Structure 1
């Protein structure tokens, strides 16, 4: 019997994409679906990948796709679903609309996670919970929050045992944690000169 994977990569793709007007995961950025940038990076640093989405349009991906257990709860609901379905203790979670995240950042978080339930980066004073390492042990606490309709990510981090990793001095590009939510933001970065993730 093969041992279970040590780390699972999770792509959050369950948002409504109302501001984009179409599925953000499928939107082309320099000719490539945004979700492809995220899965490429996760493939380099994790053992297996899953996608969390409430849409049927990602069924053709070469990864298992799971819906939210608690619908309409935002990213926290997606993370809960991932931690419910995962087979590993350690899980790297990245939103599908963050195509500039690098494998270097993820390795830094994995190195820092130790026994924390959550490990997230802080860049220029901003906490980035949608690019983080989440322990499967956090699922029970998150489920209780969702049952109480407490859906805010930052509130969850305060309750969970969270390690904050300041990456501001690591020479990371300012747009590394950028979320692309609108056609205007997509147009801004849809050019060959953009420095994409995966480059250490």
Structure 2
């Protein structure tokens, strides 16, 4: 069955940023906190946009942003993704991690244009490894429903990439592979800054 679901945007901003040593969502690569920058990008291409956050972050997020508080039912990134799915189960979610400083509106539009609605997800990937990037992907409602069963089974770990590898995922290769650069450490932060100048 082909999905006719709308696309909602989701910024995963609830991580603890242990390797970076500071909240990755608050780093201002583009003059404003990264979580706000990505939110604005998704606002331009999605039907509605949300920021996925922890309970203790609620007070620090302006009410001008739609938020979904993690329900803490699942581990890892699935915590935010499936909390959003539970709130709006009939939409597809364009999910972005807040550690993608080089992602841009063109790459988001390209991903949406390549969307395969009857797959579990449409995910960006690098040609060198052809592994799905679950946090730069459009997750369809049926894929998220299957992910809940996957997580509840408790035998496969909590890795969204592993789930996508073993299920019907449509891979898309970005025109500029740099847009998928993750900045998870101080060294990668400085590397990202050099690429942005």
Post-superposition offset of 1:179: 1.4
Say which SS state the counterpart of residue 104 (structure 1) adopts: helix
Check whether the contact 1:84–1:139 (CA below 8 A) recurs between aligned residues. no
Report the equivalent of 1:139. 144
Q: Does 1:166 align with 2:169?
A: no
How much has 1:147 moved relative to structure 2? Answer: 1.9
Cα deviation code 1:148-176 (max 9, x no counterpart): 33211222113432111233xx2x1x431
Aligned to 1:20: 20
Q: Please, what TM-score do these two structures have when normalized by structure 1?
A: 0.80
Distance 1:33 1:163, change over 3 A: same
8 Å Cα contact 1:120/1:162 also seen in 2: yes
Question: Which residue does the alignment assign to 2:181?
Answer: 178
* Whole-angstrom distance in 1 between the partners of 2:22 and 2:55: 11
Query: Deviation string for 1:64-86 (max 9, x for gaps)?
Result: 22233345611122211222222
Q: Distance in 1 between matches of 2:7 and 2:128?
A: 28
Q: Which moved more, 1:67-76 or 1:13-22?
A: 67-76
Q: How many residues align?
A: 186
How far apart are the structure 1 equivalents of 2:33 and 2:143?
30
Residue 66 (structure 2) aligned to one of 64, 67, 72:
64
Runs of 4+ aligned residues of structure 1 deviating over 4 Å after TM superposition are none
Distance in 1 of aligned mates of 2:80 and 2:14 = 7
Q: Which runs of 5+ in 1 are unaligned?
A: 196-200
Report the RMSD for the aligned CA atoms in angstroms: 2.3
Matched, 1:125 2:132: no
